[in-house]
């Protein structure tokens, strides 16, 4: 059986598939056109974050599984896939700790202006720090929107830093850390808001002008979830006018973020190129977990982490 894998897939994942006697077809890039061209008769695909639309899916003759390398699956229509006999799976156990660590790292960076001050120092501006002081996190309120595996670990780590944790998640009824509050209370009271929600019809661009106007002027927005969660133009406007203190963004509506984006012109936003899970260990875990789902399905077993049902 044939499996299309990304060139960038960790060797651990490729080895796992090879050890189970699958023929690997290595895609030089992650574009759906490339995957279709080299693997139209593939039985399985390990998919990164590039879009994989319904029209492309129907052109595969033997496809049984699309194994997402990660947790989000907004780049593929899982319901449509299920209707066409294709499982869509994710790797929920592989990246939570790493993404939580990166979230805290970006919060720390933003709160102390670390990247910007370092850049200025390299240009000889040692005194830049005097007019660009950071802020303490201890005793500040952090609002965690979305209390799944990642949100929980962010809350735990923020609590360890002495932050007061507010949590919004309509599906969670109790928590050992922090306080469950409604959405508007979290937005209006938090000093730092971090987004860890799934992308749904209800959450797409759900953090926009209204929410930004509700935030404290001294507050910051953190998004390492999905770019689609935030209305980017509304955020750009809020950052330009100093309606909020700042933002740290690792995900965007369009990736790579176009060089024409106004975000690049703003000094109060920390930008990173979708690195939340970008560690050697995490990449190995995601590669092996996605590969193991391919092995299960193509061996006639049910997957562990399917996000759809086969009809």
The kind and range of the H/E element at 67 are: strand 65-68
Burial of 295 (0-12, 13-18, 19+ CB in 10 A): buried
The span from the CA of 184 to the CA of 166, in Å, is 11
Are β-strands 246-249 and 179-180 bridged in parallel, bridged antiparallel, or unpaired?
unpaired
- For the chain, the structural domain boundaries read 2-94+280-298, 96-271
- Please give the CATH architecture assigned to the domain spanning 96-271: 3-Layer(aba) Sandwich (3.40)
192-216 b/e (C-beta count within 10 Å ≥ 16 → b): bbbbbbbbeeebeebbbeebbebbb
Superfamily of domain 2-94+280-298: NAD(P)-binding Rossmann-like Domain (3.40.50.720)
Say if CB 140 and CB 163 are below 8 A apart: yes
**Structure token digits, residue 227:** 């770019």
Average confidence (pLDDT) per 10 residues, the chain, 311 residues:
98 98 98 98 98 98 98 96 99 98 99 98 98 98 98 99 99 97 99 97 97 99 98 99 99 97 98 98 98 99 98 86
List residues with catalytic annotation: 226, 255, 274
Q: How far apart are the first and last CA of the chain?
A: 22
Rounded to two decimals, what is the model's pTM?
0.93
């Amino acid at each position: 059986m044939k499996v299309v894998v990304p060139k960038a897939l960790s060797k651990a994942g490729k080895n796992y598939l090879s050890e189970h006697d699958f023929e690997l077809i290595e895609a030089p890039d992650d574009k759906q056109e490339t995957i279709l061209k080299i693997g139209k008769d593939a039985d399985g695909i390990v998919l990164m974050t590039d879009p994989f639309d319904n029209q492309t899916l129907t052109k595969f003759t033997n496809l049984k599984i699309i194994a997402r390398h990660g947790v989000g699956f907004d780049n593929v229509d899982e319901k449509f896939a299920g209707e066409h006999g294709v499982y869509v799976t994710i790797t929920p156990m592989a990246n939570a700790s790493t993404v939580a660590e990166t979230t805290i790292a970006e919060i720390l960076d933003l709160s102390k202006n670390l990247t910007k001050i370092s850049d200025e120092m390299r240009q000889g501006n040692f005194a830049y720090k005097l007019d660009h002081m950071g802020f303490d996190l201890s005793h500040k309120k952090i609002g965690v929107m979305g209390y799944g595996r990642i949100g929980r670990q962010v809350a735990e780590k923020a609590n360890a830093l002495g932050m007061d944790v507010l949590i919004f998640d309509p599906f969670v009824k109790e928590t050992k850390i922090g306080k469950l509050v409604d959405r508007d209370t979290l937005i209006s009271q938090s000093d730092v808001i971090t987004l860890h929600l799934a992308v749904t019809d209800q959450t797409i661009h759900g953090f926009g002008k209204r929410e930004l106007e509700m935030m404290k002027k001294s507050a910051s927005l953190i998004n390492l979830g999905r770019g689609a969660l935030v209305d980017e133009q509304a955020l750009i406007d809020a950052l330009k006018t100093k309606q909020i203190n700042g933002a740290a963004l690792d995900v965007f509506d369009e990736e790579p973020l176009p060089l024409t984006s106004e975000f690049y012109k703003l000094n109060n936003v920390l930008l990173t190129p979708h690195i939340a899970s970008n560690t050697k260990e995490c990449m190995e875990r995601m590669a092996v977990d996605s590969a193991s789902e391919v092995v299960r399905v193509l061996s006639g077993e049910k997957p562990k982490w399917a996000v759809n049902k086969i009809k």
